[in-house]
Amino acid sequence: MLTALLLTPIASATPALDPLVVEAESEWAAGRFDVSNARLDRRLAAAPDDVEALWRKARNIYSEGEMLAEQGVSAETRLAMYAEMESLMVRGLQQHPGHGALLHWYGTAMGRKATAQGVLSSLFMADDIEEAWLGATRAGYVYRSANDTSSLPGDVYFALGQFYRLCPDWMVVKLLTGTKGDIDASIDWLRKGVADSPRRLEVQKELGVSLLCKAEREDDAAAAAEGRRWLQKAAALPVQKTTDEVDKRQIPLILSRPADACGYSRDGWQDVSREAYDRQN
């Protein structure tokens, strides 16, 4: 479990961004993650505890990992990246306990470790991931990128929507980990995400996926129809960042595999069936 230190919010005004962080933000938006990281590394060499630089470096690592996963780069390589990301966020949280952006990207580092290893092999991490993300929703940190493709708490809504779909909803998982999946909670968080950023492609896509998952589990024709509509809407949106290109390529595959929607993840489909769990335990 996360320590109380990491989850105790501290009230502080958002500081003015250092010019190197401003440059790094622009380079991230352009998909030049290596250039963005170079700016952030310069800033962190001078100010190791600059929270705005720390969480942006974590976001760069995540963004690069999403692209590498589609290219077939090994899970081992990506796991090393996510370990670096997690370490950065722990360092930041030691100096800035309860900071919403740090909590979000800490949870995201663990979440991507889980999908890289396999969700069913990583259920022991589920309560820590959930706790970090729920803590981020309560932290009060607000951010929005110039192109509205990243925001807080919007990024957390996006993450929780995926979490409650990919985490199995069986009572045995609740007994073992303290939490479990909930497809209705998944949909609710993603609807909040769409309300926060109405033209953000990846959030509309994930809402569509979760509705298809609900349709599959509950034989719900209305959810299936709404899920297809959201996926089609997402496919019609313009590309605004590099991961949008990945999502546009994946939407036709999602639509062709509605029975597998519950296990969809941008970095690789997951087998989250009870049969797969029983084989591992």
Instruction: Supply φ then ψ for residue 179, to 5 degrees.
Output: -150, 175
CB-count exposure of residue 174 (10 Å: 0-12, 13-18, 19+): middle
Closest CA to 112 of 61, 149, 71, 157: 61
**pLDDT over threshold 70, residue 4:** no
Dist. CA 3–CA 12, nearest whole Å: 20
- In this structure, is the dihedral angle defined by the CA atoms of residues 75, 79, 85 and 86, taken in order, positive or negative? positive
Q: Where are the domains of the chain?
A: 4-280
Number of Cβ within a 10 Å radius of residue 218: 12
pLDDT in tens, 65-79: 999 999 999 999 999
Given a contact cutoff of 8 angstroms between Cβ atoms, the answer to whether 105 and 55 are in contact is: yes
Calculate mean pLDDT across residues 43-58.
98
Given a contact cutoff of 8 angstroms between Cβ atoms, the answer to whether 254 and 212 are in contact is: yes
Calculate mean pLDDT across residues 97-123.
97
pLDDT at 12: 47
Q: Any idea which architecture 4-280 has in CATH?
A: Alpha Horseshoe (1.25)
Instruction: Supply φ then ψ for residue 225, to 5 degrees.
Output: -65, -45
Report the percentage of the chain scoring pLDDT > 70.
Answer: 95
Tell me the pLDDT of the chain averaged across its residues: 95
Kindly indicate the confidence band of residue 11, based on its pLDDT and cuts at 50, 70 and 90. very low
